[in-house]
Amino acid sequence: MKMLINVPETVVADALRGMAAAHPELTVDVENRVVVRRDAPVAGKVALVSGGGSGHEPLHAGFVGPGMLSAACPGEVFTSPVPDQMVRAAAAVDSGAGVLFVVKNYTGDVLNFEMAAELAEDEGIQVTQVVVDDDVAVSDSTFTAGRRGTGATLFVEKIAGAAADEGAPLERVASVARQVNGSSRSFGVALSAVTTPAKGSPTFDLPSGELELGIGIHGEPGRERRPMMTSGEIADFAVDAVLEDLRPSGPVLALVNGMGATPLLELYGFNAEVQRVLSERGVPVARTLVGNYVTSLDMAGCSVTLCQVDEELLRLWDAPVETPALRWGR
């Protein structure tokens, strides 16, 4: 497989060096694998720290900045960061108001963030954790006990980040994060397998005429394989899977997310079908975001995430944000 890399062993470090050069508003510690907003710690502000394996960019480092994360910890490709990274990040951004860890529900991430929280508490840093588990495709998978954490991570980090920027205390920021997670559901579809730099070839076999419904962001199996479907048929299946579980009674935020190799031309066309299905099901859409945000390296495919919102959550979603990958209102 052709990749724009030097050697697999330096992929993450090289990417972090490039990120540092492109974004002077961030402090990027390449050696210790921590990305921090340059003005941290912000006096009196709850800090948000997240992280996970690399390969899902812009998640999480691309969401560091005003209105969102205070710091992110990138692990190796598809591998959890280690507790030392998380403790360094917490120490770098803690202003005394406490730190919220946003954790995707994967076994390595959960265990390492739990250990980091204990170590941070030993250093006098107050830490609360919120686990994101929005994927309705499967109840358990290779990497998780319970549902996987996927696209709703963006909603949690943005909305809870806005609450923190407004000066909300740690308990309130954590409550908002849990409300967003509880109000969100996701479903993903793969059109091709993912290739990691270390392996250099697809990590699983997906014949050219088939797709995987309910795929995970590391290539974990989904609900079933089917012959290739049209965009409209995929939208019907994915949106119905989300709505069957979420059952929204009000307006929703909609994220139409690319898995990394699907161009915007296709994603916008798919969004048209998603909006059609939601309209047919009587679900009002308050805001829509389309693009590659929670990716899986070079996987072709998409995911749909819906979050039911009230006026307060919508206000926090609309609040200003300024990160490498998400910015408006400033």
Q: Does 60 participate in catalysis according to the annotation?
A: no
Q: What is the mean pLDDT of residues 184-190?
A: 98
Tell me: pLDDT of 143 over 90. Answer: no
The pLDDT assigned to 142 comes to: 66
Please identify which residue in the block is written with the tokens 């980091």. Answer: 116
> Tell me, what amino acid is at 114?
E
Closest C-alpha to 319, from 304, 306, 330: 330
DSSP of 238-303: HHHHHHHHH--SS-EEEEEEE-BSS-HHHHHHHHHHHHHHHHHTT--EEEEEEE-SS--TTB-EEE
Is 145 a residue whose pLDDT tops 80? Answer: no
Q: So what's the pLDDT on residue 217?
A: 95
pTM of the model: 0.97
Crossing angle of helices 311-318 and 152-165, rounded to 10°: 80
Q: Which of 197-201, 226-230, 303-307 has the lowest mean pLDDT?
A: 197-201
Question: Residue 138's pLDDT band (boundaries 50, 70, 90)?
Answer: confident
The percentage of the chain sitting over the pLDDT mark of 70, rounded to a whole number, equals 99
Average pLDDT (301-328) is: 98
CA distance 330 to 323: 11
pLDDT at 141: 67
Position 17 scores a pLDDT of: 98
User: How far, in Å, CA of 112 to CA of 204, rounded?
Assistant: 27
Dihedral of alpha carbons 287, 290, 296, 297, sign? negative
Q: What is the pLDDT of residue 222?
A: 86
Q: Which of 23, 37, 56, 104 is catalytic?
A: 56
Is 23 annotated in the active site?
no
Does residue 221 register a pLDDT over 90? no
pLDDT in tens, 239-298: 999 999 999 999 999 999 999 999 999 999 999 999 999 999 999 999 999 999 999 999
Confidence band (pLDDT; 50, 70, 90) for 203?
A: confident
Q: What is the pLDDT of residues 2-23, one digit of tens each?
A: 999 999 999 999 999 999 999 9
Q: Measured between alpha carbons, how far is 55 from 5 in angstroms, rounded to an integer?
A: 13
Question: Mean pLDDT for the chain?
Answer: 96
| Identified catalytic residue from 218, 234, 257, 296 | 218
SS3 of residue 109 by DSSP = helix
Confidence at residue 316, expressed as pLDDT on a 0 to 100 scale: 98
Are 31 and 84 in contact by the 8 Å Cβ rule? The answer is no
